[in-house]
Structure 1
């Protein structure tokens, strides 16, 4: 059973499917990748980043967070088994926004040649990485509104620059479906782009936690995957996506980051050029 914010996804074949990875035969074919991106709205790239780089950052993150009570005492920080006790949220915020987010380790990961170099190749230009980069952990067993990322498309938050921004979602460690990875509403970028062309500009209030209702509205499927360390998904700013709940039987914490690249020559949304903070108003 897959849930998001407490809502149970319909697992009928017409409402749930599998995210399709880019085949090896297309990985170096830019034209094929752009054709796939226009058709699907996403590129699921298996093993794009060295898995050891990802696991090392996961270890760094949860080692930094250990004193908050987030991780089970004695836990392997690469596994990061979560606790069910109250955590020191003030300390967590201090470490996250004061240390990890602006830190060199996070910057090195998100601008690594296997990421930045790929965007330079794919976009065929100098690229700009938005400084506002988001990193999230999800505790096992959390449910209810607000515990997982609600359904939205990125352009809702990126009105001040080009609409040709590409996001990369990176699971920081293995993330099978039970751990609550990202899910995409199949083909939803096509009606969203049509709405945008017709002047139907959604606001932040448009986001919803009711994924089953949204699948019915668009007569579409939510696509899920058993992500592995090193995998990434690159998606358009128009495709609807959301997070699912972490119900991992081993009580591991889900960790992921989403970052955004664009051509440096395109207009840039200035609001995204400061480090992420939960009080930044976006």
Structure 2
């Protein structure tokens, strides 16, 4: 797979892919800067604090990621989502069928954390939910030693490092609605703002294949937004305790900051950062790092599969509402 990662954060050129988000073309974008797991920890921590993320190349063995991808699409294959003559590892969408039969799940979907689709999508949604409960996923993949050990060292939490149970295993069918603008502390407010998110693509994701995009220095804007929401809540007459849990009144019904990434970036004069992801890559980001995703326009019809994993320091206060496997309409 050709790679488009630029060594500098220079503007995209006309020869680079035209990317789309929910509100149209992503006109001004640049590139996530890759890091390597064997770099000095202090250098990786500096990047994380300064940029709000570290984009780790090849942290998890590629074959382990592809094995998990095969397991997922083996589960989903009976729904008819895969193109005849292709393999589960390829995960190619059968475009002869309406994408509405195969809706994505997770925070930020249209309508919030509700069951998506109609009766024709029921089997697909049920299987997508059931995948969260399978040992190949929740035990082998979500707690992969390469990832867990790296986070324990990087964070300095050591044996107190906890991979929390609630994760979001998301598929992104070509052409369907993409994830809107948000930061993770929006959904984790009952704990300290110290959780680390690992976004893990489960397979190669081309630049135009629906991968995550990050707002440049978006973690600073996320903190500013959080402070403003809190001040407005206090000014409205809420107590300190009430104010800490009143932020979502400032957002959309889904908890998103915005459903339109292109307009959002222009509003704050910040570019979106994109990447060409490979199986084995992991992006770690802070609770305030603002991100979204592109619309999947992979020309080969590859279904983007990825998961959001959260790690916390179990010796500190964390949002224990997340101490359960993902389910629909769980209030989170």
TM-score (norm. length: structure 2) = 0.78
State the match for 1:101 in structure 2: 132
- CA gap 1:240/1:106 in 2 versus in 1, 3 angstroms: same
**1:48 corresponds to 2:59:** yes
Unpaired runs of at least 5, structure 1 = none
Q: Provide the C-alpha distance between the structure 1 equivalents of 2:305 and 2:225, rounded to a whole number of angstroms.
A: 33
What RMSD in Å do the two structures reach over aligned CA positions? 1.6
State the match for 1:218 in structure 2: 268
State the match for 1:110 in structure 2: 142
Deviation at 1:21, TM superposition (A): 0.7
Q: Deviations over 1:179-237 (max 9, x none)?
A: 11000000011132234345357425243121121111221110000001110100001
**Alignment of structure 1 residues 82-93 onto 2, 5 Å:** 82-84=93-95, 85-86=97-98, 87=101, 88-93=120-125
Q: Provide the C-alpha distance between the structure 2 equivalents of 1:227 and 1:192, rounded to a whole number of angstroms.
A: 24
Q: Provide the C-alpha distance between the structure 1 equivalents of 2:247 and 2:211, rounded to a whole number of angstroms.
A: 24
Q: Provide the C-alpha distance between the structure 1 equivalents of 2:125 and 2:266, rounded to a whole number of angstroms.
A: 37
Q: Provide the C-alpha distance between the structure 2 equivalents of 1:109 and 1:194, rounded to a whole number of angstroms.
A: 34
> 188, 201, 204: which is aligned to 1:158?
188
> 118, 128, 131: which is aligned to 2:162?
128
**Alignment of structure 1 residues 59-98 onto 2, 5 Å:** 59-84=70-95, 85-86=97-98, 87=101, 88-98=120-130
In 2, are the aligned partners of 1:188 and 1:218 still within 8 Å (CA)? no
Mean CA deviation greater in 26-35 or 152-161: 26-35
Deviation at 1:265, TM superposition (A): 1.1
What is the SS of the residue equivalent to 2:312?
strand
What is the SS of the residue equivalent to 1:177?
coil
Greater CA radius of gyration, 1 or 2? 2
Q: Provide the C-alpha distance between the structure 1 equivalents of 2:226 and 2:304, rounded to a whole number of angstroms.
A: 33
- CA gap 1:16/1:77 in 2 versus in 1, 3 angstroms: same
How many aligned residue pairs are there?
271
Unpaired runs of at least 5, structure 2 = 1-17, 102-119, 232-245
**Alignment of structure 1 residues 24-35 onto 2, 5 Å:** 24=36, 27-35=38-46
State the match for 1:189 in structure 2: 219
Q: Provide the C-alpha distance between the structure 1 equivalents of 2:208 and 2:265, rounded to a whole number of angstroms.
A: 20
Q: Provide the C-alpha distance between the structure 2 equivalents of 1:207 and 1:197, rounded to a whole number of angstroms.
A: 14
**1:140 corresponds to 2:179:** no
In 2, are the aligned partners of 1:27 and 1:33 still within 8 Å (CA)? no
Q: Deviations over 1:6-31 (max 9, x none)?
A: 52111xxxx31000011x4x734121
**Alignment of structure 1 residues 258-269 onto 2, 5 Å:** 258-269=308-319
Q: Deviations over 1:156-199 (max 9, x none)?
A: 11100110011000110000112110000000111322343453
Deviation at 1:59, TM superposition (A): 0.8
**1:7 corresponds to 2:20:** no
Q: Provide the C-alpha distance between the structure 1 equivalents of 2:317 and 2:64, rounded to a whole number of angstroms.
A: 32
In 1, are the aligned partners of 2:19 and 2:294 still within 8 Å (CA)? yes
